[in-house]
Amino acid sequence: MQSLAEWSWAEDVVYACECGAYFAAQRWRWVDGEAEAELVETLRTNGPFVGECPECHRGASAQGPWLIVRPAVQQATLILGSEQRGDVVEALREHLRLVGQRAGMVRRWLLQPEIIFGAQGVTRDTAVEAIPIEPEPTTDPGWVAPSAADVEWAANGELDIIDGNVMVRLQLADATVRVWKGAEIVARPIHLRGYGYPLLGVRLIATYLGEQAVIDGLIDVGDVEAHEVFARLAQDFALQLVIHGPRGSTALTRDIRSPGLERNAALCLESASGLLAGGDFRPSAFLDSTAQLAALNAVDRLAPADVVMHAGDHDTIATAAEGWAALEHLDQASGRENLTRLLEVDGLELAAYDHIRRSVLSAAVEFGLTPASRFWRRILGPEVGPNAEAIVQRLARTRASGRGGDLPGEAGVENWYRMKELADRKRVPYPPELRDALNLDEGGRGPKRPLGRRRSAQPPMVASGVIGDSGPSTPAPPAPPPSRNRLAKATEILEGVPTMEELNGVIRSMEEFDADEILAILPPLAELGSSITPGMVDRLRSRRREVRQSAAILLGLARDGRAIDPLAKALLAEETNVWRDIARALGNFGPRVVGSLCDLLRRVEPATRDYAANRVARALAEVVLSDGISRSGPGRHAVEALVDVQDPVIASAATHALATLTDVSSAGEEIRGERPLAENTAVRGFSRRAYEAITTPELDILMEDDFEEVR
């Protein structure tokens, strides 16, 4: 078999010449109509056989079925001879058989080719010479810019990977090719929502004489190749633009790199995969949605998010007024839909957003400003103060001192009310400065808060009932759905200063939460540190996988020594792939878990030692990785010391751990969102979402905004 292009292929056959001789010839099965336009014209004239008789030097010339493929427009055309009009069904069966031979190339459009009947069988007397195709026009230094009316400013292409190179391919007219040849091009990953199917791909934007042209290279997220493409982009966001001219030959090839968007590529793939897994789409949904996109012009496609944000925003904040304006901008830009648009469509790098958020919140603390509730967990850390009370006091003292100048208009009053709300939520006493600013009496009562804009576009939610209490409750009208009611109450409890009874009630109630509700309460649970240990240890025996998984993840983050032995036991007892999360949790403790893991191997029955050694080896590998990038700290030293111990099972587990560090490290990067999931199983997918919920709560499925006025 010969392959001239990714889609073109031919088979070696024996051809019987009219002179009676037999010789080897090629029979073309598929031809890429975009990359091999001249070959297509030749085969249309002479048939799919190519070769020359060694006796009479006649060229092979006979009809038979063959396929023209045009990937950029997702079109397949089956060419049949006119004498095959009665053999259509048989020809389609043969076509599907050949598709099955190239399973890695299967696309929906290949399964439903257009059928065209060619000429009668070609003979030497009727054969005609193919008309030569003129070469593509070359660019001359004195060329005249194409008319804007002749340019296709918005187009769809196919995103593909060929020989390890990611590329966007499509066919465009001469005028448009000239635009992309001379323009400055930027690329970004995209996940487009709202088209009836998650559209995943790469957006290329060309700036040309003050105008912008856009090409959206798309790939079906349900195609296994999509994961290969985005795995490559998540490592290095580099690709090639390949444009074919109207005659089919390659008119332009451009290499494009956009470093810094690798994490965005991983985010786009995971969010699109999540929507695909959670939806019920008809077979034509991908093609229908691409058709919708194709109808949009460049202006509509490039419309920015409602609240724009760019890398470098708020790098320098010199006054309290600037800090307040930056806080408001950050709050508005971080709304769920807006932030999703910024990161998955507009090309704002995740690292740039992280930097802006850190800069703005750091300035807020410096000037005594209280951010919106969605960011509270990010200022309630030990680097700001030892506890919530100390942090509220620090904010109040700083603002009362006037550091950075006064706040404009009503911002000053709003800042004090936000500070009061934070104190109420965390159940800490009001600082004197806060009481004076709002004229609060001993009971905390004072003037009513001025009416202002809500920080959330969603209506307020009312929560009632007691978490963990099976007794009846009476929701206040209008009542949200029971599950949202329950989640709102849980969030209110966790974001305050919960008693152990309240905390354990929330943890027990996780058994009744669905997966999204569990994800929503992980961030505030993670903030509570070791106080969650007893309740989470009990959840390691939950009947629900998501609860066991969440418990393992949270215990690993808390690093409370009381959890080591229960986690070690769960490592062997877990019957699903959650055991990998348990191994990762044990690894977070570092070398201090090595003794417990060795004791675990010593106690197992001989019949299960291989099984146990494999799981312990994974945990030991995670211990080594806890050293960080160097992998040469105390974790590695502790594991290497086990290689030479006398117990062969322990020595074997340690050796296996050191040999699998690369694989275990890659798996951890997938879970932390640093690269796409190689296999998006339910267990791995939940782990990924759990870590995202804890580390980037602004992207949670259920946002804090949903519960900001719970009382």
DSSP-assigned states of every residue in 528-581: TGGGGHHHHHHHTT-SSHHHHHHHHHHHHHHT-GGGHHHHHHHHHH--STHHHH
Q: Is 77 helix (H, G, I), strand (E, B) or coil?
A: strand
Mean pLDDT of 304-308: 94
Q: Give me the mean pLDDT over the 36-56 stretch.
A: 83
Do 88 and 195 reside in the same domain of the chain? no
Q: Quote the CA–CA distance of 404 and 398 in Å, as a whole number.
A: 9
Reported confidence tier of residue 76, pLDDT bands at 50, 70, 90:
confident
Distance CA 100, CA 301 (A): 37
Q: Please check whether residue 449 lies inside any domain of the structure.
A: no
CB atoms within 10 A of CB 446: 16
- pLDDT score at 150: 77
pLDDT band of residue 295 (cuts 50, 70, 90) is very high
Q: Which of 326, 342, 459, 352 is nearest to 699 (CA)?
A: 342
Domain membership of residue 79 (yes or no) is yes
- 306 domain residue, yes or no: no
The reply to whether 192 and 240 lie within a common domain is yes
Select the highest-mean-pLDDT range: 15-29, 195-209, 682-696.
195-209
Same-domain check for residues 569 and 502: yes
Are the C-beta atoms of residues 17 and 56 closer than 8 Å to each other? yes
Residue with tokens 């040469």: 632
Residue 588 sits in the same domain as residue 684: yes
* Count of structural domains within the chain: 4
Q: How confident is the model at residue 145 (pLDDT cuts 50, 70, 90)?
A: low
Residue that terminates a domain, selected from 438, 467, 499: 438
pLDDT on residue 131: 32
- Model confidence at 362, in pLDDT bands (50, 70, 90)? very high
CA gap 84, 65 in Å, rounded: 9
Mean pLDDT of 76-88: 80
The boundaries of the domain holding residue 34 are: 9-117
pLDDT above 90 (res 599): yes
Does any domain span residue 554? yes
- How does the average pLDDT of the chain come out, rounded? 82
DSSP, collapsed to helix, strand or coil, labels residue 167 as: strand
Instruction: Reply yes or no on whether the pLDDT at 692 is more than 90.
Output: no
Between 627 and 395, the higher pLDDT residue = 395
The 10s digit of each residue's pLDDT in 428-472 is 899 999 999 999 887 767 776 665 544 433 333 333 333 444 344
Calpha distance 2→10 (Å, rounded): 6
510-563 per-position pLDDT tens digit: 999 888 888 888 888 887 888 899 999 999 999 999 999 999 999 998 888 999
Say if 138 falls within a structural domain: no
Whether residue 37 is contained in a domain is answered as yes
DSSP assignment, residue 59? B
**Burial (CB count within 10 angstroms: exposed 0-12, middle 13-18, buried 19+), residue 198:** buried
Token representation of residue 508: 């027990």
State the pLDDT at residue 104.
75
Strand partners, 30: 9, 67
More confidently predicted of 295 and 492: 295
Angle between helices 350-367 and 388-400 (to 10 degrees): 70
Does 72 fall in a domain? Answer: yes
Whether 702 shows a pLDDT value over 90: the answer reads no
CA angle 608, 570, 665 (to 5 degrees): 90
- What six digits make up the tokens of 243? 């444009």
With vertex at residue 463, the alpha carbon angle to CA 540 and CA 482, rounded to the nearest 5 degrees, is 65
Q: Is 470 a member of any domain?
A: no
Predicted pLDDT at 524? 83
Q: Looking at residue 701, what is its pLDDT?
A: 35
| Cα(15)–Cα(62) distance, integer angstroms | 10
Where b means 16+ CB within 10 Å and e means fewer, 107-118 reads: bebbeebebeeb
